[in-house]
A and B are shown apart, each in its own frame.
Chain A
Amino acid sequence: MSKSSATAGKDKTMNVVVVLKQVPDTESAIRIAGDGKSIATEGIKWIVNPYDEFAVEAALRLKAKHGGKVTILSYGPQRVVESIRTALAMGADDAVLIGEDDIESSGRLQLAKAMAAAIRSLNPDLVIMGFRAVDNDMAQRGPMIAEYLGWPHLAFAVSIESDGNQVTIKRPIEGGSVTLESTLPALVTLGGSHAVWNPRFASLPGIMKAKKKPLAVKKLSDFGLDPAQFAPGAGKTRVISLEMPQERQPGRIVDGGLDTEGKARELTRLLHEEAKAI
């Protein structure tokens, strides 16, 4: 190892912020609300967006290696506190909630601006978050926040390594993968799956401890932002209607007293002649 990389490679403690979104449980059956433009939220169970849970795990592993601190940043109504506590119970150190009930309806660019302002106030080395949320599935918040911070971002990571000075990720692309690197501070969004990140569960002692960890509820004005610019409907796009996917015709069981070979022949015929797919 060369001299310069020996010093550059010296691990520094890291200040990591994880941006967390609360989303409906993936088990939820989705129903359209009375206004025809939103999802009915009665009876919905709320969870940490799975990709953000991966981000908590990745941040905790970096902390285990380098020391430092993991701060959870989230936004929205009081119910979000429960998801933040989940992340604290996993091992994060403290949290900030931008406690503005309607902030999500102020538009995606506005929300990203608010997140960037909050992140600036926390002065981290690295920000990690999911590359998409499993509700609106826009895959855009991370890059937007990075743009407002004026930082590089590396998106859709399935691995993340850092020595406290720079960060390296692997990112799948169609038909392969690429390796990217950036000096810190930077923002990384995570892809992958449960199998890749294997996020830890909150232990019982973790849950007890989480109750005492600092959780600051902040207002937009605390970050020097003008709340008037974050009013509902400040976005550039709007949803005009929601639509359920077409109901599938009830399927057909290929049986008719056929033996295995008979069924195989019949399925092949159906796919060939009826579906014209093979």
Chain B
Amino acid sequence: MGKSVCVIAEFRGGDLRRVSYEVASEGKRIADALGSDLCAVALGSGIAEKAAELGRYGVKKVYIVDDPALENYLAESYVPIIADIIRQCDPAAVLLSASVDGKDLAARLSARLDVGLVQDCTEILVEDGKIRVKKPIFAGKCFAWNEWIEGAMPLISCRPNVMQCLTLSEDQRAEVERVDIPVPETRSRFKSMDLDTSGRVGLSGAEIIVSGGRGMKEAQNFAMLEDLAKLLGAAVGASRAAVDAGWRPHADQVGQTGKVVNPNVYIAVGISGAIQHLAGMGTSKYIVAINKDPDAPIFSKADYGITEDLFKFVPAFTEEVRKLKSTCS
């Protein structure tokens, strides 16, 4: 059996993040294809019990460093520890999530270990024992297939919500090994965390996104989209024009300089479909466009187009969805 494949698991508030299940599942597929085992690395505070749950996804052994000083991610403390563990287990490949922290960690780790990194991969193949990865470039206007030069260890971050989650066995536990590496002194410090407790669906994991553009006319009109989104269990997004106008927070911007999203359904309301917007949502499974201008470029990308005044159409559509939801449940 060859060297094992290693995944870096991500914890927040003592809980394993969902993205880590995806990465572990993907890691298991690769380990199987290479005929090797899957191991994991996890840093955090009070995580031993939860780390063992990685066994469900095929992880045999988890190396953990459990220390109150590691409760929150900080590149300066995490990177040296993880690099040490990886050097010791000398894996065939290392996978982690292309989450906000994951990408940051991967980048610095790559320099520290002198290994090649490809970020934000959407597909990983093993062909003739070689790993090849696909990643979007130009915010999804194009895709690049990458491979590693002979003898180089692949470091791969996986785009969230793309890799399939496989549960092998609900009660399979991974062996947990505590690694004794001291937490380094750092010049940077974690000050505070502020979590959104409104219960709103976040853009990055949303199955359905309702997005508004300049056609929404003013901030309070977004209440209409919030209502629709609530019914659909959707997140609310925005075009740059709507964000620049101050109608929506910048974190809601979808596009080349905003978030790249990949939902099942993307509903673009009063958005023209500029190339920079399309770059951020063009890979959605279904695109719905609601626009009063029949020549709006968004229609060329939309699976379902509605040429109507949004102020008339959105309330009517919301009503229909409400009816459907009440008959379904």
Contacts and interface: CB of A to CB of B under 8 A. Distances in A.
Contacts of A241: 144-145
Given A174-B100, A175-B196, A179-B192, A254 B110 contact: no
B305 A243 contact: no
A66 interface: no
B120 interface: yes
Contacts of B207: 277
A272 B321 CA distance: 9
A29 B301 contact: no
Given A178-B193, A251-B303, A172 B76 contact: no
B142 to A, nearest CB: 5
Interface in A251-278: 251-255, 260-261, 263-265, 267-268, 270-272, 275, 277-278
A271 B111 contact: no
B149 A237 contact: yes
A275 B304 CA distance: 10
Given A177-B194, A181-B191, A271-B288, A249 B99 contact: no
B250 A176 contact: no
Tell me what chain A mostly uses at the interface: helix, strand, loop, or mixed: mixed
Contacts of B232: 278
A32 B141 CA distance: 11
Interface residues on A, range: 35 or more
Contact of B143 (A112, A147, A245): A245
A251 B302 CA distance: 5
A26 B320 CA distance: 38
Interface residues of B, number: 100
Interface in B135-167: 135-149, 152
Interface string A129-140: 000001111111
Interface of B is mostly: mixed
A124 interface: no
Contact of A272 (B104, B107, B110, B324): B324
Interface in B283-327: 283, 285-289, 294, 299-308, 312-313, 316-317, 319-321, 323-324
B211 interface: no
Closest 5 pairs (CB-CB, A-B): A236-B116, A140-B107, A143-B107, A182-B188, A176-B195
Interface of B: 72, 74-76, 79, 99-101, 103-104, 106-108, 110-112, 114-120, 132, 134-149, 152, 186-196, 202, 204-205, 207-208, 232, 240, 243-244, 246, 250-251, 253, 256-258, 264-265, 275-276, 279, 282-283, 285-289, 294, 299-308, 312-313, 316-317, 319-321, 323-324
17 contacts: A108-B116, A147-B111, A175-B196, A176-B194, A178-B194, A186-B187, A193-B243, A195-B244, A237-B146, A237-B148, A237-B152, A253-B299, A261-B316, A268-B320, A268-B323, A275-B264, A277-B286
Given A108-B116, A277-B208, A277-B265, 19 more contacts: A26-B256, A39-B138, A135-B137, A137-B119, A153-B76, A174-B205, A175-B196, A182-B189, A193-B258, A194-B243, A195-B243, A195-B244, A238-B147, A242-B137, A243-B134, A245-B282, A268-B320, A271-B288, A278-B321
